[in-house]
Structure 1
Amino acid sequence: MKKIIRFLMITTLLFSLILTGCGNEVNRDQAAESTEDVFKSQILFKGSSTLAPVLSKISTEFIEEYETWDKVNKDFPNKSLDIFVSAGGSSAGVKSVIDGSSDFGMVSRSVSDEEKGKIEGYQEFKLGVDALTVSVNPKNQIYKLKKNLSTEEIQKIFSGEYKYWDQVETSLAHEEIVVVTRDLGGGAHGVFQKKVMGDAQVKADAIQAPSMGALVTKIIENKNAIGYASYGLVNQNGGKIIPLDVDGVAPTKENIISGDYKISRPLLVVKKGTLLPQEETFINELLSEEGMKTIERMGFVPAK
């Protein structure tokens, strides 16, 4: 009888151990599934139309190389690697971080203290430096006759005080100046207003381009156009658009880095709160040596 009882006790103990083992296995599986369920596989960027092509290129190459997150880091789950980039202007980028509609904002200007105050746990990552070049169409002979414009002359052109090209340089034709600017939501608008226009306002009938790319296209298409074009996009469209000197200083890489060329601006990615591990991985990719090379290849001055 004692042997039977001992046998039953051993059997019960073994059965309990088996159940416990199965339970642990189930718990581990559930934990793994839970981790995979909460893992955020998408990263959303919104904002600057100047930065959008840069982020699109780097993210596309990143996705093509890895495809799924587990190939980036073995501790990440086997989930599709999705990075979405949409333009809409620097102000829209900041707003999207404030309201949580995107993970990162792309900003091609300084972020104000007021804006930073609305972003809890504000973080920014500097990718590079751009400049606004006062640029014209190559068919406009001003760049041969008058390569340099003073701040005062630029103010008179963009405010509408100078309406014809022969007011800028008497040797030029009596043809109407076509002023092209970014819309009010673009980071370039605020930079140009602060660093060049001051208290003067850009004339009301200036053409407002929805993106920096569209602004450059307008200058390329119209020989009488003038606008503040991104240094990076001028480099990308070599010969199709001509930058002028400002106050005797050419918009060169050296002058932008030194600060001698005054219409420069930072290229930033901004974030609310702590980075998720997968977000940190991609930010490190942007700031890597290869990321900096891509930024330079696209015509901008890399941060390092």
Structure 2
Amino acid sequence: MKKLLGVCAALGLLAGAGQAHAARDYVWAAGSSTVFPFATRVAENYGRKTGMKAPKVESLGTGGGIKLFCSGVGDNYPDIANASRPMTQAEFDTCAANGVNDIVELKVGFDGIVIAADRNAPDYAFRLPQLYLALGANVLRGGKFVPNPYTNWNEIGPGLPDNRILVYGPPPTSGTRDAFVELGIEASALSYPTVRALRDQDSDEFKQMTHPLRREGWVDSGENDNAIVQTLTKTPGSLGVFGYSFLEENGDKVKAMSIDGVAPTVATISEGTYPLSRSIYIYVKKAHVGVTLGLQEFVNEFVSDAATGRGGYLQSRGLIPLLPPEHEAMKSAATQMTVMGRPD
């Protein structure tokens, strides 16, 4: 019996050693297309500084990245989820149900969502309530919700061009899409008393009426924001929705439209005066720290002064840095791997 137990123990040790040996020797991050160019730049610098294998960074959209991240613990699942919005309660609960219990939330900066066109296009100078009327699947007309009847921008409000409503933007899996619906469409709809009353009476019906985007006039264009930029230059009269960082990279090809008289800039986004401003995040699986080779070092690089601090190398790619006290707090949370609580 003792001999049998000894054999079983030895096999257990070998199995454990095999699992340890099988641990990935590279970091895997997946998620937001907006965070993708930042994460790839950090990956390049991390590889150059450490000499370790380059991390794998995938652009799946915030929803797709968090879904994969929350699917389990181990080599088959990402170490990091890149996100251009906060993790939801439902996503957090899915993580917990799949054994992903210790998650570290790190805010890495700010971004804005821009509505842009080819540089030769007219200026639109939107007012926020116009976004809902132009792009919502169901809009108010005569005090009632009806399928969106508008075809041209000048039908939405005076001063807008007589161009067909045609907007290229991210798909439902994208955090940029989520944020645009929340900050642009929902906030726009709430400028109408009838919509505010509906929200107060029935939040589910409110979302059903305001969140869907129209099928004619809005075109899902995948997770590649650069592709949207290219489409704008080839499709006269069209508009595109994407992250501010892509505006920075393509300022010679496209221009952004103001909303409520405020143009998207580093200052207006970090101050929150530009209506479509948002925070961006990375979520780290604490159970993988010390198992996935280089994970802690990669996270440290991401929140370092050199990367996300003021004047850091990500600022030149369009990231808008946190204020110094919050940046220091994120560095501390990364070092200590401080676990987040359930979202409110």
TM-score bucket (shorter structure): 0.7 to 0.9
Secondary structure of the 2:314 match is: helix
Contact persistence 2:153–2:164 (CA under 8 A): yes
2:133/2:156 contact within 8 Å kept: no
Of the three residues 61, 71, 92, the one matched with 2:64 is 92
Aligned to 1:124: 105
Task: Give 2:316's aligned amino acid.
Answer: R
CA contact (8 A) 1:128 1:295 kept: no
CA distance in 2, matches of 1:193, 1:170: 23
Picking from 298, 308, 323, the partner of 1:282 is 298
Q: State the Cα deviation string for residues 194-230 of structure 1 (Å, max 9, x = none).
A: 1221243321132111122222222232221112221
Gaps of at least 5 residues in structure 1 are 1-29, 69-80
Q: Is the 8 A contact 2:30 2:58 kept in 1?
A: yes
Larger Rg: 1
Name the CA distance, whole Å, in 1 between partners of 2:161 and 2:19.
Answer: 69
Distance 1:173 1:194 in 2: 25
Once residues 135 and 42 of structure 2 are traced to their aligned partners in structure 1, the CA distance between those partners, rounded to angstroms, is 35
Name 2:214's counterpart in structure 1. Answer: 203
- Cα pair 1:123 1:270 within 8 Å, conserved: yes
Give the distance between the partners of 1:121 and 1:93, measured in 2 at CA: 17
Counterpart-to-counterpart distance in 1, 2:156 and 2:102: 49
Equivalents in 2 of 1:139, 1:228: separation in Å? 17
Query: Partner amino acid for 1:231?
Result: Y
Distance between the aligned counterparts of 2:119 and 2:230, measured in 1? 13
| Selected match of 1:57 from 33, 36, 41 | 41
Q: What is the alpha-carbon distance in structure 2 between the residues aligned to residue 41 and residue 233 of structure 1?
A: 31
Which one-letter code corresponds to 2:232 in the other structure? I
**Structure 1 residue 156 displacement after superposition:** 2.2
> Which has the larger displacement, 211-220 or 34-43?
34-43
Aligned counterpart, 1:302: 321
How do residues 248-259 of structure 1 correspond to structure 2 at under 5 angstroms?
A: 248-259=261-272
Whole-Å Cα distance in 2 between the matches of residues 36 and 188 of structure 1?
A: 37
In structure 1, which of residues 223, 238, 246 is the aligned counterpart of residue 236 of structure 2?
A: 223
For structure 2, the residue ranges without an aligned partner over 5 or more in a row are 1-13, 96-100, 137-147, 187-208, 328-344
Give the fraction of aligned pairs with identical amino acids, expressed as a percent.
Answer: 19
The alignment's TM-score, normalised by the length of structure 2, stands at 0.68
2:121 corresponds to: 140
The structure-2 alpha-carbon separation of the partners of 1:94 and 1:226, relative to structure 1 and needing over 3 Å to count, comes to same
Change (3 A) 1:99 1:36: closer
- The letter of the residue matching 1:135 is A
Counterparts of 2:160 and 2:21, CA distance in 1 = 66
Match in the other structure for 2:194:
none
CA distance in 2, matches of 1:167, 1:63: 53
**CA-atom RMSD in angstroms:** 2.5
> Does the residue aligned with 2:220 lie in a helix, a strand or coil?
strand
Of 230-239 and 108-117, more deviation after overlay is shown by: 108-117
Give, as a single letter, the amino acid of the residue that structure 2 aligns with 1:202.
L
1:188 alignment partner AA: T
Distance 2:118 2:314 in 1: 25
Please list the CA deviations of residues 38-65 of structure 1 after superposition, one character each: whole Å capped at 9, or x if unmatched.
Answer: 6642211111111112211221232234
Residue 291 in 1 paired to residue 325 in 2? no
Q: Does 1:238 align with 2:286?
A: no
Give yes or no for the alignment of 1:155 onto 2:135. Answer: no
Tell me, yes or no, if the aligned pair for 1:51 and 1:106 is still in contact at 8 Å: yes
Distance 1:224 1:40, change over 3 A: same
> In structure 1, what is the Cα distance between the partners aligned to 2:160 and 2:286?
55
Q: Counterparts of 1:103-122 in structure 2 under 5 Å?
A: 103-119=79-95, 120-122=101-103
Contact kept, 8 Å, 1:165 with 1:172, in 2: the verdict is yes
Structure of greater relative contact order (alpha carbons < 8 Å, 6+ residues apart)? 2
Provide the TM-score with structure 1 as the length reference: 0.76
Q: How many residues align?
A: 257
1:194 matched to which residue of 2?
182
What is the alpha-carbon distance in structure 1 between the residues aligned to residue 93 and residue 159 of structure 2? 51
1:161 to partner: Cα distance: 4.4
